[in-house]
């Protein structure tokens, strides 16, 4: 199967990497601290911001923001330097990582906040901890730990800046339900295309096909929901139907309640 093209675009990326054969890439807390040190050095070199992270024993999640088209260079430096450290410390040779890292480009706020929840709940999903923010090697844990500073490469983190805003704490405490997990998987599969000098999700179905059989309000409203799931904005749907964006927003909320 052909590999999905790597997007080196500047902006937000969700990164996942695992140990070869799912083996542990961190054997103690010192290893995780070393990885964070290497991460921050690479962020300084390539002008990358960390917005969230979670270091599990055999894999890691990073939510980053690149300011130049240098994602591959940034990741190469992190993975190579950490592999050198790990192999030397444990007197091993060979590959540390299970193939190339996985990355997904993020283009909307809803996706971004879903990822905050997904990343921070990894230790709970693995039944290592029972409360979000307790596992020490996530960004949220470092935000909550008043005795320890947040790593320097995360000082501009969106999660750090907004954690004390109304509703954010409650949002982070909620695990993704099955529907949200499925939507996240579908989001990750969508292609990114350039339209009018902007990068957007490629739509699978033209709007006219979405609304081809919408002969009454119920079928029209269902078509609106499907079009929004396909990546169209509420404004695009409203303009196509010649209705207000407020009406489209109301229909979307009512069908998702």
pLDDT of 193 over the 50 cut = no
Task: Of 195, 11, 232, give the one whose Cα is nearest residue 104.
Answer: 11
- Higher pLDDT: 35 or 212? It is 35
Tokens read off for 153: 């490469």
Question: What is the mean pLDDT of the segment spanning 164-186?
Answer: 89
Beta-strand pair 198-201/48-55: unpaired
**DSSP code of residue 21:** G
Torsion of CA 146, 148, 149, 153, to 10 degrees: -130
Range in 20-24, 126-130, 189-193, 239-243 with the lowest mean pLDDT:
189-193
The secondary structure element, H or E, covering residue 6 is none
Angle at 35 between CA 107 and CA 100, to 5 degrees: 55
Please tell me the predicted confidence (pLDDT) of residue 56.
Answer: 98
Contacts with 43 (C-beta within 8 Å, 6 or more apart), sequence order? 49, 50, 64, 74, 153
Task: Of 213, 195, 184, 212, give the one whose Cα is nearest residue 121.
Answer: 184
pLDDT of 232 over the 90 cut = no
pLDDT tens digits, 9-34? 789 999 999 999 999 999 999 999 99
- Higher pLDDT: 144 or 198? It is 144
What's the mean pLDDT when you consider all of the chain?
Answer: 88
In 3-state terms the chain splits into helix, strand, coil percentages (rounded to 5) of: 50, 15, 35
pTM: 0.74
């Amino acid at each position: 199967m052909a590999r999905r093209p790597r997007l080196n675009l500047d902006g937000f990326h969700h990164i996942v990497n695992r140990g070869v054969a799912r083996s542990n890439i961190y054997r103690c807390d010192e290893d995780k601290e070393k990885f964070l040190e290497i991460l921050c050095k690479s962020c300084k070199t390539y002008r990358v911001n960390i917005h969230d992270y979670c270091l599990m024993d055999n894999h890691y999640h990073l939510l980053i923001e690149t300011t130049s088209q240098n994602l591959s260079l940034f990741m190469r430096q992190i993975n190579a330097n950490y592999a050198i450290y790990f192999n030397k410390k444990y007197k091993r040779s060979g590959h540390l990582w299970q193939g190339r890292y996985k990355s997904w480009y993020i283009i909307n706020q809803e996706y971004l906040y879903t990822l905050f929840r997904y990343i921070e709940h990894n230790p709970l999903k693995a039944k290592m901890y029972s409360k979000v923010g307790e596992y020490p090697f996530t960004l949220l844990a470092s935000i909550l730990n008043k005795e320890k500073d947040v790593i320097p490469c995360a000082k501009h983190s969106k999660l750090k800046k907004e954690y004390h805003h109304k509703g954010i704490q409650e949002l982070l405490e909620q695990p993704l339900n099955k529907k949200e997990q499925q939507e996240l998987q579908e989001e990750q599969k969508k292609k990114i295309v350039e339209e009018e000098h902007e990068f957007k999700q490629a739509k699978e179905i033209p709007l006219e096909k979405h609304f081809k059989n919408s002969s009454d309000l119920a079928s029209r409203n269902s078509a609106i929901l499907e079009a929004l799931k396909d990546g169209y904005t509420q404004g695009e749907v409203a303009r196509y139907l010649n209705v207000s964006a407020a009406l489209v927003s109301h229909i979307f909320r009512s069908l998702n309640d």
